[in-house]
């Protein structure tokens, strides 16, 4: 058996499939599969995920009784080996060790010789999944990554849903509603998608709860205008994606009970007052005040018709932020937020300005993104719960 693989392809494929690799698992493997026609891929699977990336195979020579090559490569070694390759131009030639055909592979390039350990493992078949729709790569992953920052996996034992990102697909409206919360901040963003399966699937799977660490694992493809396919494996209850280049990522869903947050959203939307704030100015003010105070975890906002004052709790350090617009207020509204919660709530905002809306100092505060033309980002809902005074 001999394989000649494109080095750049191998490096990129290894980096992709190693995303979910447990660095403490010394028995983990990455499957190398190549058929007689030269179609090959790397994959890694465990109980929580399945990751695959295609390979560029320059040449394949199989034994007479072989239809394909299926090898379980030592995952930790392959990851280090691929990361060490500096020259991506010269191809790599893989062949079985004559002395140890079951335990290692020989890898050669001009003036280079390596040995990759094999793992004794049964390589299963590829998962049987169905395509349920398609969505913009950049819009979807940008949304998922922004909202994943609002989760709280550390304390998910108390309320498992706060360790997940809730993805709800509506075939009738052709929308994906993505929601995340840690109980103190909540965010919801609605984006369009194209369904490609029957309505029965969406009624049977109304909420797909992706564990936060998996949800934020894939970044948006820079400059991409492509759509990704959304896929679902019914047997293992895994949800994931197929990319235009053939990459696959499938993640096990959480069995947590979805949060019925629409009541919270409706209640928080009943606001009488608002202030239009520059997001960069507010972020800079929070960062400046925070850098001066080491023993306080809260930030105080004092909102009046004169402007917004950001300070620490004891008001020994204050910074004024000009308000671009503010409701008529009989008196200043003073509210305290956990600094971490406020920054979380600001995180999903992609506009330069937002409306801060509230009923009173003890109510939930709604953050409403505002575009440069003064129109509202009506597909985005964000709220933050202040510290009770």
* 31: containing domain: 2-117
Residue 18 belongs to a domain: yes
- As given in the structure block, the two tokens for residue 378 are 């009506």
Instruction: Give mean pLDDT, residues 176-186.
Output: 95
Write the DSSP string, 230-241: EEEETTTTEEEE
Asked if residue 43 belongs to a domain, the reply is yes
Q: Please tell me whether residues 57 and 26 are part of one structural domain.
A: yes
Q: Does 278 lie in the same domain as 208? A: no
pLDDT tens for 184-227 read: 999 999 999 999 877 678 878 889 999 999 999 999 988 788 99
Structure token digits, residue 216: 């934020």
Question: Is pLDDT at 236 greater than 80 in this prediction?
Answer: yes
Give the model's pLDDT for residue 193.
96
Q: Which of 117, 143, 171 is the last residue of a domain?
A: 117
Contact 299, 344 (CB under 8 A): no
pTM greater than 0.85? yes
Does residue 83 belong to any structural domain of this protein?
yes
pLDDT at position 154, please? 92
Do 237 and 173 fall within a single domain? yes
Say if residue 177 is in the same domain as residue 229. yes
pLDDT digits (tens, 9 = 90+) for 75-122: 999 999 999 997 788 999 999 866 665 688 899 998 899 999 999 888
* Same structural domain, 69 and 94: yes
Q: Kindly report the CATH number assigned to the domain that includes residue 52.
A: 3.10.150.10
Residues 250 and 141 in one domain: yes
Q: Which of 117, 149, 180 is the last residue of a domain?
A: 117
For residue 142, with 0-12 CB atoms within 10 Å meaning exposed, 13-18 middle and 19 or more buried, which class applies? middle
Domain count, the chain: 3
Is residue 122 situated within a structural domain?
A: no
Whether 380 maps to a domain, the answer reads: yes
What pLDDT shows up at residue 100?
63
* Domain presence at residue 58: yes
The Cα–Cα gap between 86 and 33 comes to 24
Last residue of a domain, one of 214, 231, 259: 259
Regarding whether 273 and 243 lie in a shared domain, the answer is no
CA distance 354 to 346: 9
In a domain, 389, yes or no: no
What per-residue confidence (pLDDT) applies to 101? Answer: 58
Q: How confident is the model at residue 295 (pLDDT cuts 50, 70, 90)?
A: confident
In a domain, 125, yes or no: no
Phi and psi dihedrals of 110, rounded to 5? -50, 120
Edge-to-edge order in the sheet of strand 49-55: 68-74, 29-35, 40-45, 49-55, 248-252, 238-242, 227-233, 130-136, 194-195
**What number is the average pLDDT over the span 285-307?**
91
Q: What is the structure's pLDDT at 97?
A: 66
Residues 30 and 49 in one domain: yes
Does residue 67 share a domain with residue 161?
no
Contact assessment for residue 169 and residue 104, using Cβ atoms and an 8 Å cutoff: no
Burial profile 76-114: b = 16 or more Cβ within 10 angstroms, e = fewer: bbbbebbeebeeeeebbbbebeeeeeeebbbbeeeeeeb
Same structural domain for residues 112 and 218? no
Q: Report yes or no: 298 and 338 within 8 Å, Cβ to Cβ.
A: yes
* In a shared domain, residues 341 and 375: yes
- Is the pLDDT higher at 221 or at 285? 285
Residues 140 and 197 in one domain: yes
pLDDT at 88: 83
């Amino acid at each position: 058996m001999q394989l000649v693989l494109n080095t750049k392809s191998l490096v990129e494929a290894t980096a992709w499939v190693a995303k979910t690799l447990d660095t403490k698992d010394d028995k983990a493997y990455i499957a190398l599969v190549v058929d007689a026609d030269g179609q090959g891929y790397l994959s890694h699977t465990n109980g929580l995920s399945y990751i695959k990336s295609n390979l560029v195979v320059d040449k394949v020579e199989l034994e007479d009784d072989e239809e394909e090559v299926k090898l379980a490569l030592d995952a930790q070694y392959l990851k280090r080996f691929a990361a060490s390759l500096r020259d991506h131009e010269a191809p790599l030639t893989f062949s079985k060790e004559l002395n140890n055909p079951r335990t290692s592979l020989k890898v050669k390039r001009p003036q280079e010789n390596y040995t990759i350990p094999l793992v004794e493992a049964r390589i299963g078949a590829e998962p049987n999944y169905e395509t349920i729709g398609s969505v913009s790569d950049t819009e979807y992953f940008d949304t998922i990554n922004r909202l994943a920052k609002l989760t709280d996996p550390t304390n998910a034992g108390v309320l498992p849903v706060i360790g997940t990102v809730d993805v709800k697909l509506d075939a009738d409206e052709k929308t994906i509603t993505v929601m995340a919360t840690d109980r103190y901040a909540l965010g919801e963003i609605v984006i369009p998608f194209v369904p490609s399966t029957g309505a029965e699937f969406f009624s049977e799977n109304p909420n797909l709860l992706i564990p936060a660490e998996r949800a934020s694992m894939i970044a948006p493809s820079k400059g991409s205008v492509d759509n990704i396919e959304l896929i679902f494996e019914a047997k293992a209850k895994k949800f994931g994606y197929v990319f235009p280049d053939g990459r696959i990522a499938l993640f096990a869903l959480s069995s947590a009970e979805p949060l019925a947050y629409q009541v919270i959203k409706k209640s928080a939307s009943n606001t009488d007052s608002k202030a239009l704030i520059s997001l960069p100015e507010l972020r800079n003010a929070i960062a400046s005040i925070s850098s001066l105070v080491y023993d306080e975890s809260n930030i105080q906002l004092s909102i009046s018709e004169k402007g917004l004052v950001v300070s620490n709790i004891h008001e020994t350090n204050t910074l004024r932020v000009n308000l671009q617009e503010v409701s008529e207020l009989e008196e200043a509204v003073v509210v305290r937020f956990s600094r971490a919660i406020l920054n979380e709530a600001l995180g999903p905002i992609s506009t330069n300005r937002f409306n801060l809306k509230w009923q009173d100092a003890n109510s939930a505060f709604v953050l409403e993104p505002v575009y440069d033309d003064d129109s509202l980002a009506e597909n985005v809902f964000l709220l933050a719960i202040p510290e009770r005074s």
